Chain A
């Protein structure tokens, strides 16, 4: 059996290397694949550069505050520095922190929503919602067209390669009149066709895995603990996705129609799975879960007191704030120092507290859409696998929502750091800077079980189609 298989493979190899069009196509896709890997890396690198630059600005700023303690104050400038560094009444809204999204090594392979959402936020103790809705600069046309990354090559182009290489198996032999010669073989035509199919399966899936491995190796250390799971998902995912398409092709070949029919049929399926279904799902989700973000716009406003010089208004605000957030409580008669600053701090915090509901509702709506789409992803393995790649590279919507939740916690730490000084009338000491808040992404649950389920759906589809295809092939012609 094995030697016969070898002969079929050898024969198919001869066909393969003599078809210049197909070779050209394959080489073209491989070149695009490598280009896509590096395009993704360049994009993520430029984001990392921005991050480095921002971090530098931040550490320079804070270094400046620490230095203010060391120098003797001899001039106006130094006095201003010292005030900024020590007086919480200024520091709480002047000190700028950055919440930076930790970009995963494998974000570059599947950029997902990474270019759409800001990946860092500049934060002060002022109203959180004033600071976190503004978008980064982007070319909307580029956002619309989408990213040229490895996931695009795998998800869009590899199925097309698979189609070109396999659509005419059996049909071509039939059309060229070679079928009788094959039928005469003791092996059985179905086995011959399956062997040919297997040859392309190994060839193309192997190449897909090769490009993926190249991408994984170029984008990060595949052995790093953080990367092992994504590496596993990428390799298995690419394998499964290619398998799925080979399954589809076997089913189409099994119908034993003409090669033109096969070509139309398989491209039709590609079109439906990659363009029509996602397009329809996207419009469907828009109608089913309408989101109105206009109310949210209004809460991103900078507010101030009506009259900063009115102590009554200030006291009123501060007491309101203490009622909402008793952590900083002080009796009324001990807040008069830095009254305007305290009132302003209270005001912006109160605003956040009042507006949290709007924001939570909005995020809930977005999550609902995300969940609905996830529920529907079985319809198209393309959506399924794209989401999976985005998930492991942390470029999906839930990763971003995670980031947003972490920012809220971080912002709370920032306000706590300054408000404890401000409301308790303490100066910021040099030693305090060692304990200044640092952004940390809250560890989320990694839903590995669901990821495996998603892969399972694709595997299931593969086995279903491949089996039907094989049975159809075995069926005797009359």
Chain B
């Protein structure tokens, strides 16, 4: 143990004396602070805008003039995607998912305004965020810290000297890994500790669930990422003859992990399972509503059936005799059936997107960067699932709103009446203000099983490789 401490001390000393490492560390800390600061500013800006807009739409809804409830359902309202606090750390897909949506009767609108549309195409190069620094730049720091860990000792001949002190190869490797990890964790841990303290005491983040737990998991996630890169670099350094070789191999691996695999995996995914275009998607839905899904009746048949049911229920022979406004009932029935059709097609669409992304998920076994990227987005609630979840939530809200309006029309007016009946604020008030909370962190973890397995596979394989190489080396050449 004493030997190990000695080795670690020596490694840290050597590392900190390298100018390149110091410069690199300073640049990374600078970029990281800029990223967090900028992330905070944009988070605040956007969150304020969203809150204000949501409030305005609420006031507008409550103070709309008295009108027929179905007209009010068409007038509808707007929902805005709130920013989650952690999005200041990892923007994730927030730049590329729409931010607002119009909710009205009959139609499921798509989201409007992807923030990326408000930039020149330069946005596709990526935006500076703390996550970008952690995912792309810290691994480079790791590489620079460790590519020479064994090669320099081999080139200087100090490795033989060390071995002749009756220190095993495994101990030397452990010492090196521990030293590099210590240096990097001293960068990582304070940042997350501050974030944790803030999240517990000062910040009221009502959009995201389990904030502290998420921060803790982010810390673990990035710590594991660093472990992967440190072990990889040390292993490559063990196998390489010269520092130059080791550096070149590691830099090539970095490019492969962070640039080539993500692009090709996603490109492949989109080619294999293409998405329909909105108009085609809508046309299919419209057709299915009109003609009925397989095994269902057509729209006109459904209406006739509905009439029959209601006449039977109230035991009358004409709609005019019903104590309710049948228009409201039939509008709602139409709404219900449209919802069924929509859910059917939306589910298919979701599955297509999931299939596209599954290729990326599996690519985690080729590039750990992807696993970390996906999990980081998941933990900060800026991933595809968060988008789906929000979408579902808005749809539930819309259906509830429309249903209340239609049922009010049915209950409180007579057949043949439309403009004659006007509802007022009392009805508007029954619609709760729109509020959104993300899913719980447990559900997040469950949907990223592949990535989690990939991360641990990487770590186990790399540690095994280092360990078995250390064993083998004893006998032969140092």
Which residues in A have some Cβ–Cβ distance to B below 8 Å?
25, 32, 35-36, 39, 42-43, 46-47, 50, 53-54, 57, 112-113, 116-118, 120, 122, 133-148, 152, 156-157, 160, 164, 175, 258-260, 263-264, 267, 271, 274-276, 278-287, 290-298, 300-304, 306-310, 365-366, 369-370, 373-374, 377, 382-383, 386-387, 390, 395-397, 400
Contact = CB atoms under 8 A, between A and B. Distances in A.
B112 A145 contact: no
Contact of A294 (B41, B80, B262): B80
Residue picked from A36, A260, A283, A304, most chain B C-beta under 10 Å: A283
A377 B86 CA distance: 31
Nearest to A383: B122
Nearest to A115: B270
A198 B278 CA distance: 51
A282 B119 contact: yes
Interface in B42-78: 42, 45, 49-50, 52-53, 56-57, 60, 65, 67, 71, 74-76, 78
Nearest to A25: B252
Given A46-B274, A263-B244, A263-B248, A283 B127 contact: yes
A404 B114 CA distance: 16
B78 A297 contact: yes
A291 B97 CA distance: 16
Contacts of A53: 280
B113 A296 contact: yes
B98 interface: yes
Given A144-B95, A160-B255, A134 B266 contact: no
Contacts of A294: 49-50, 52-53, 80, 99-100
Contacts of B281: 137
Contacts of B129: 279, 283
Residue picked from B42, B65, B80, B113, most chain A C-beta under 10 Å: B113
Given A141-B357, A293-B118, A373-B119, 5 more contacts: A43-B270, A50-B280, A134-B278, A175-B244, A258-B244
11 contacts: A117-B117, A141-B93, A141-B360, A279-B126, A279-B132, A283-B35, A291-B118, A293-B112, A296-B113, A297-B78, A298-B57
B384 A139 contact: yes
Contacts of B137: 271, 276
Contact of B266 (A35, A136, A148, A373): A148
B263 A148 contact: yes
Nearest to B52: A294
Interface of B: 20, 31, 34-35, 38-39, 41-42, 45, 49-50, 52-53, 56-57, 60, 65, 67, 71, 74-76, 78, 80, 92-93, 95-100, 102, 104, 109-129, 132, 136-137, 140, 144, 243-244, 247-248, 251-252, 255, 259-260, 262-264, 266-267, 269-271, 274-281, 283, 349, 353, 356-357, 360, 383-384, 387, 419
A297 B54 CA distance: 11
A55 B80 CA distance: 33
Contacts of B38: 283-284, 286-287
A136 B110 contact: yes
A113 B144 contact: no
B126 A156 contact: no
A302 B124 contact: no
Contacts of B34: 280, 283
A140 B269 CA distance: 13
The 8 closest A-B pairs by CB, nearest first: A148-B267, A278-B125, A294-B53, A279-B128, A297-B100, A143-B96, A140-B93, A145-B266
A39 B271 contact: yes
B436 to A, nearest CB: 15
A279 B119 CA distance: 12
B41 A116 contact: no
B125 A140 contact: no
A310 B244 CA distance: 84
A395 B118 contact: no
B328 to A, nearest CB: 17
A301 B76 contact: yes
A386 B270 contact: no
Contacts of B127: 279, 282-283, 286
B109 A140 contact: no
B35 A139 contact: no
B266 A386 contact: no
B251 A382 contact: no
A144 B120 contact: no
Contacts, number: 259
A135 B98 contact: yes
A175 B252 CA distance: 22
A333 B123 CA distance: 56
Nearest to B270: A142
Contacts of B132: 275, 279
Nearest to A308: B419
B95 A137 contact: no
Contact of A140 (B278, B279, B384): B384
B122 A278 contact: yes
Contacts of B119: 282, 285, 366, 369-370, 373, 397
Nearest to A395: B121
Contacts of A136: 110, 277-278
Residue picked from A118, A141, A275, A390, most chain B C-beta under 10 Å: A141
A53 B277 CA distance: 10
B125 A383 contact: yes
Nearest to A132: B112
B189 to A, nearest CB: 25
B276 A137 contact: yes
A287 B37 CA distance: 11
A310 B65 CA distance: 15
A267 B34 CA distance: 22
A329 to B, nearest CB: 28
Contacts of B41: 287
B150 to A, nearest CB: 15
A267 B137 CA distance: 12
Contacts of A274: 125
Nearest to A167: B248
A282 B275 CA distance: 29
A303 B72 CA distance: 10
Nearest to A307: B419
Contacts of B71: 304
A120 B278 CA distance: 10
Given A156-B259, A370-B120, A295 B53 contact: yes
B198 to A, nearest CB: 21
A40 to B, nearest CB: 9
Given A298-B78, A304-B75, A287 B121 contact: no
A55 to B, nearest CB: 11
Nearest to A120: B279
A271 B110 contact: no
Contacts of A164: 248, 252
Contacts of B97: 140
B57 A276 contact: no
A356 B150 CA distance: 66
Contacts of B247: 260, 263-264
A345 B102 CA distance: 21
A144 to B, nearest CB: 5
Given A263-B248, A373-B120, A283 B78 contact: no
A396 B276 contact: no
Contact of A396 (B115, B121, B383): B121
A113 B119 CA distance: 10
B356 A113 contact: no
A467 B202 CA distance: 57
Residue picked from B96, B120, B260, most chain A C-beta under 10 Å: B120
A42 B248 CA distance: 35
B357 to A, nearest CB: 5
Nearest to B39: A283
B356 A142 contact: yes
B361 to A, nearest CB: 10
A42 B271 CA distance: 8
A117 B123 CA distance: 13
A478 B365 CA distance: 51
Nearest to A390: B121
